[in-house]
Amino acid sequence: QVRLLESGGGLVQPGGSLRLSCAASKTGTMFTINAMGWYRQAPGKERELVAEIHFGGSENYADSVKGRFTISRGIGESTVNLEMNSLQPEDTGVYYCNAEVYVRYLASEVDYWGQGTQVTVSS
């Protein structure tokens, strides 16, 4: 089993900054985390990728956040942080942590999700 614990989020004014963190915990040795990232879902819209980091080193960002958001590995083995700067009202939404996990007994990769944390950018 893989569990994702999110922290951060909240209310911020336009132009402000927030930091999201996600820590993954694993039970047993059958799980290998290959990548972690953040998705967001605004009201009435589909969930979209914000940023992801592959544990082999590559990163991927949505065009709308390039130059403003930075994803990084945390101190823990399976922790990622998302630094969000120059936040705008269109960044408002529920942010979900995601982990791409190779499950050995399934011989396939499975997506795990956190509960979500609200980010609201408003004056």
Give pLDDT, residue 109.
Answer: 94
The tens digit of pLDDT for each residue in 50-105 reads 999 998 879 999 999 999 999 998 876 689 999 999 999 999 999 999 999 999 99
Structure tokens at 74: 């945390």
The tens digit of pLDDT for each residue in 97-123 reads 999 999 999 999 999 999 999 999 999
From residue 49, alpha-carbon distances to 2, 30, 43, 46, 52 in Å are 20, 26, 15, 10, 8
**CA dist., res. 29 & res. 104, Å (int):** 9
